[in-house]
Structure 1
Amino acid sequence: MRSLVFITLFPVLLVLFASCSKNDALPDPYPTDSLGKINRWTLDSMRRFYYWNEQIPAKPDHSLSPELFFKSLLSSSDRFSHISGPNVPSATNSYFAFGFHYALLQVPGYNNYIGVVTFVNINGAADRAGLKRGSYFMKVNGRQIDAQDLNEINRQLNEKGTITLTAAAFNNNTWEPGADIQLSPGYSRENPVYYTRVFTKGSIKTGYLYYTSFDESFDASLLDAFRKFREAGVSELVLDLRYNAGGSVASSAKLAALVTHKLNAGEVYAIYEGNRNEGRRTRTLQAVLNTSASAAGRLYSDLQPNQLQLSRVFVLTTRATVSSAELVVNNLKPFLNLVQIGEATAGKDEAGFAITDLRSPRQVDWTLQPIVYKLFNKNGQGGYSAGIAPQYAISETSTLPLGAIGDGNDVLTAKALEIIYGPGFTGTPTDLRIAPPHRRMQVKPVYESATEQAARSAPVMIPQ
């Protein structure tokens, strides 16, 4: 999968005209003008590979621009197919512009909205400016955050350009302004194995992994994290995927196989179901691993020494858990008890591959990323376009303050630890602190940048 920015999987680029059947092709004469060539190529490609190809209009309007023509071919059920080309600016968001995710909240006793930082990119602009998860702000570029200006505020926060945040603090039941914080664009690529720790009570040791994306470049770090868990003797695992933006399908398979030894090399990891041309494709774990560009864990035998012997796994999710992260949640279920905590996931139960024109000389400079497959696990379970619902529904942004990632003050982590250890587990001073109930403030989220990013990202991208 390729999400907005984290990962690009090495997709195979396809020469489409040679592969289209006579039934798929349009009658001659073939267009000779530039726009006609682009749109004809797009139509041929979509008729061949698009999951909903039978819903493509019989006579689409070839006079439309390439973007509008592509959109005119899409099914009403399609939320994620994408086209990119010359002079089309890439979408941006606050995380890759300034290095932070945020939520805008309706809070008691305040007429406007309060912003809260939900996640910070290590060494990004926000991190360098001192922002942390749980930091508050009440103005953007001197403008109060209210319902009328909500769209404009979000535009400024999600587009590259210098911005100024006015910090906020809650003192004596009042929201007070703080210092102005100026941010210039700045994002730093980070290891997605963001944070690990082990909690202990009695003989029960619980591993915790915060994992931000499936980036094959860091698969060795993923294996190392599980090596440490295994050496520590963990018998429970909390897998935090709340803002995981997806990425490599092969890396998702590696993670799944590290979580459970029951997923062996010959077991079915994923089933891809396409249109009548693509059919139904069953992929074993090793077949998926073979597509990895990273040698770390490409062989099942390399994963085995670090596999955990678990009977269940706790997975933390939000609406920003998307694509390959959802694939892990759905495709682990046949192999062990998966306890999901948080919110329903984004709902991308679909996959595709990038399509470009490789003719020489190249005639079309556009790239298609259409939905080609629906995704299913070993038992044929899929159909989660509305998201994968948790057993324990909790919104992390419905109360304040936000706890630190992997800390007992965080409501999602605290719920997993409560199920494992029982109520009142506090750990050690360096591990957990569970906030007393009276300290928490009920709030209502009106916008979450990580959720918006997930909704706009491309589908799971599968190497062919």
Structure 2
Amino acid sequence: MRHLKALMVLFIVSFFTVSCFEDNDDIQVTASQINDFVWKGMNAFYLYKDDVPDLANNRFTSDGDYANYLNTFSEPESLFENLIHERKTVDRFSWIVDDYIALEQLFSGIVISNGMEFGTFRFSANDTNIYGFVRYVLPNTSAESQGIKRGDIFYGINGTQLTLDNWRTLASADNYIINLGTYNDNGTPQTNDDTVTPTQETKTLAKIQYTENPILLSKVLDVAGTKVAYLMYNGFTGTDQFNTELNDIFSTYKSANATELVLDLRYNPGGSVNTAILLSSLITGQFTGSVFSTEQWNTEFQQAFENENPELLINRFVNNNDGAALNSLKLTRVFVLTTRSSASASELVINSLSPYINVVQIGTATAGKYQASRTLYDSPNFSRSGANPSHTYAMQPLIFKSLNVNGVTDYFNGLSPNPNNILSESIRNLGVLGDKNEPLLARAISIIDGSGRFPITKPTKSENLIDITGSSKDLLPLSNDMYVDKEIPDELIKRIRFD
């Protein structure tokens, strides 16, 4: 049967389930009622629906068959995972949450943070012990007040050595003490003999609710008479406030007559597709109305869009931000600094700009996330309006993959710089962000001024043994998400869901 009517399903499943959930008003809702929402949402929207037999439209022969299936899963999370297509290789990024309020705050840039953004590393793939290194510190936070700075090394939390298995739990606490160490290269350029030596120094950190401005650093550098704009942008936070600030920053660049831009996305995990379009339109400005990217949905949605409104599958360069004219630079070249922590919307900017202008990528390959998601709520059209008040579950499944104007997509292994511009961050010498001598920025400057002052030195084989294993962003749900707030006509959703 094509789809099950909601009232009939809810009546049936209420007799099968044994698990219940409660919201803030202590209104009980059965696990299978939430499971009904999970299955229907995934059946309608999931990008890889055709690859999941349990999401087939003819999967169930009767209402009872459907109810029995839902009740084999005592937790909505279990059902959701059962519907994911190849979690380890294809879909690494779909999620379900039991508190969509916190999810919405995250999308607005509101997090619980102590201000210390860090990465983790080990000296070889065989090590179980890992170490933390500070990437940057957020202003007006506990980490800033404690004097923590970029490049600081810590080996433990609360006196416990960090390992691959425990670091997430230790760093998830609201309050903790980091145990600092020193990085020792033991007098050699190789890293196979490097160590971290514990010290007695500690720092006590406390997390608070914090609104992170994605614009961490912005300046204009003078490079042999050329005005070079530098922007460290750490998240595509799709809020009106931050989008307006981004437009204002580009006004400053225009006033300074900047003719080059270094866009630092090395720690940017992504976010809003609309903000990615805005940023790309600010970098350019000469392509208004041209195709920025296109979308490929599951078979049913794709066919419906193509038949009824194919324009909904196209994202175009824009010339305004909510009616305000953009301060576009109309550049024909942009330098983008990347690492494996550059994901989703960061990659969308690189991939979508590449057919139009010269995108000079410097650093290492990106994360490899070309799919976008959408928040689905338990409502008739899966929108926030009319969401079931009995629970706060929501899903963030992948719903389409992005292609640039030339059809390039599926960059599972990430987007990689030209071999001449592959440059890993050195934990031994991270440099100061925004400083002309910081290695990745210095490489961009050497290309701009043609001096070759900062040639790339290829790492020795032993230097490749250092393994970056994660970052503090991994502690956030949907940290590498690319999401969209596309308005989909209700009638189209109803036909997909109930016809």
Does the 8 Å CA contact 1:123/1:188 hold for their aligned counterparts?
no
Specify the SS of the correspondent of 1:122: coil
List runs of 5+ in structure 1 lacking aligned partners.
1-21, 290-295, 427-433
Residue 230 (structure 1) aligns with:
254
Residue 378 (structure 1) aligns with:
405
1:199 aligns with 2:221: yes
Deviation at 1:28, TM superposition (A): 9.9
Provide TM-score, normalisation by structure 2. Answer: 0.73
Specify the SS of the correspondent of 1:103: strand
Over the matched positions of the two proteins, sequence identity in percent amounts to: 30
Match of 1:410 among 438, 444, 458: 438
In 2, the alpha carbon distance for the partners of 1:134 and 1:102 equals 9
Provide TM-score, normalisation by structure 1. Answer: 0.79
1:41 aligns with 2:34: no
Residue 357 (structure 1) aligns with:
378
In 2, the alpha carbon distance for the partners of 1:123 and 1:137 equals 21
In 1, the alpha carbon distance for the partners of 2:91 and 2:185 equals 47
The letter of the residue matching 2:402 is L
1:23 aligns with 2:39: no
Does the 8 Å CA contact 1:208/1:238 hold for their aligned counterparts?
yes
**Closer, same or farther: CA 74–190 of 1 in aligned 2, 3 Å:** closer
Instruction: Please give the residue correspondences for 1:211-360 in structure 2 after superposition, counting only pairs within 5 Å.
Output: 211-215=233-237, 216=239, 217-264=241-288, 266-279=289-302, 281-285=312-316, 297-299=321-323, 302-303=325-326, 306-358=327-379
The letter of the residue matching 2:94 is S
Deviation at 1:26, TM superposition (A): 7.7
**Closer, same or farther: CA 373–225 of 1 in aligned 2, 3 Å:** same
The letter of the residue matching 1:48 is A
In 1, the alpha carbon distance for the partners of 2:274 and 2:205 equals 36
Match of 1:71 among 81, 86, 89: 81
Deviation at 1:136, TM superposition (A): 2.1
**Closer, same or farther: CA 129–272 of 1 in aligned 2, 3 Å:** same
Does the 8 Å CA contact 1:243/1:450 hold for their aligned counterparts?
no
In 1, the alpha carbon distance for the partners of 2:5 and 2:84 equals 18
List runs of 5+ in structure 2 lacking aligned partners.
15-29, 61-68, 188-194, 306-311, 381-385, 488-499
1:97 aligns with 2:113: yes
In 1, the alpha carbon distance for the partners of 2:31 and 2:168 equals 34
The letter of the residue matching 1:32 is V
1:449 aligns with 2:476: no
Specify the SS of the correspondent of 1:452: helix
In 2, the alpha carbon distance for the partners of 1:252 and 1:38 equals 33
Does the 8 Å CA contact 1:36/1:63 hold for their aligned counterparts?
no
Instruction: Please give the residue correspondences for 1:139-150 in structure 2 after superposition, counting only pairs within 5 Å.
Output: 139-145=156-162, 149-150=163-164
1:119 aligns with 2:136: yes
In 1, the alpha carbon distance for the partners of 2:359 and 2:475 equals 26
Match of 1:85 among 72, 76, 98: 98
Residue 8 (structure 1) aligns with:
none
Instruction: Please give the residue correspondences for 1:408-447 in structure 2 after superposition, counting only pairs within 5 Å.
Output: 408-423=436-451, 425=453, 442=463, 444-447=466-469
Q: Residues 10-49 of structure 1: CA distance to partner in whole angstroms, max 9, x if unpaired?
A: xxxxxxxxxxxx7243899623313333222321221111
Match of 2:150 among 133, 139, 156: 133
**Closer, same or farther: CA 425–232 of 1 in aligned 2, 3 Å:** farther
Larger RCO (CA under 8 A, 6+ residues apart): 1
Deviation at 1:191, TM superposition (A): 2.5
In 2, the alpha carbon distance for the partners of 1:343 and 1:453 equals 22
The CA RMSD measured in Å over matched residues stands at 3.6
Does the 8 Å CA contact 2:129/2:164 hold for their aligned counterparts?
no
Specify the SS of the correspondent of 1:137: strand
**Closer, same or farther: CA 178–275 of 1 in aligned 2, 3 Å:** same
Specify the SS of the correspondent of 1:151: coil
Report how many aligned residue pairs link the two structures.
416
The letter of the residue matching 2:277 is A
In 1, the alpha carbon distance for the partners of 2:7 and 2:379 equals 22
Does the 8 Å CA contact 2:338/2:362 hold for their aligned counterparts?
yes
Does the 8 Å CA contact 1:162/1:185 hold for their aligned counterparts?
no
Does the 8 Å CA contact 1:165/1:182 hold for their aligned counterparts?
no
Does the 8 Å CA contact 2:179/2:199 hold for their aligned counterparts?
no
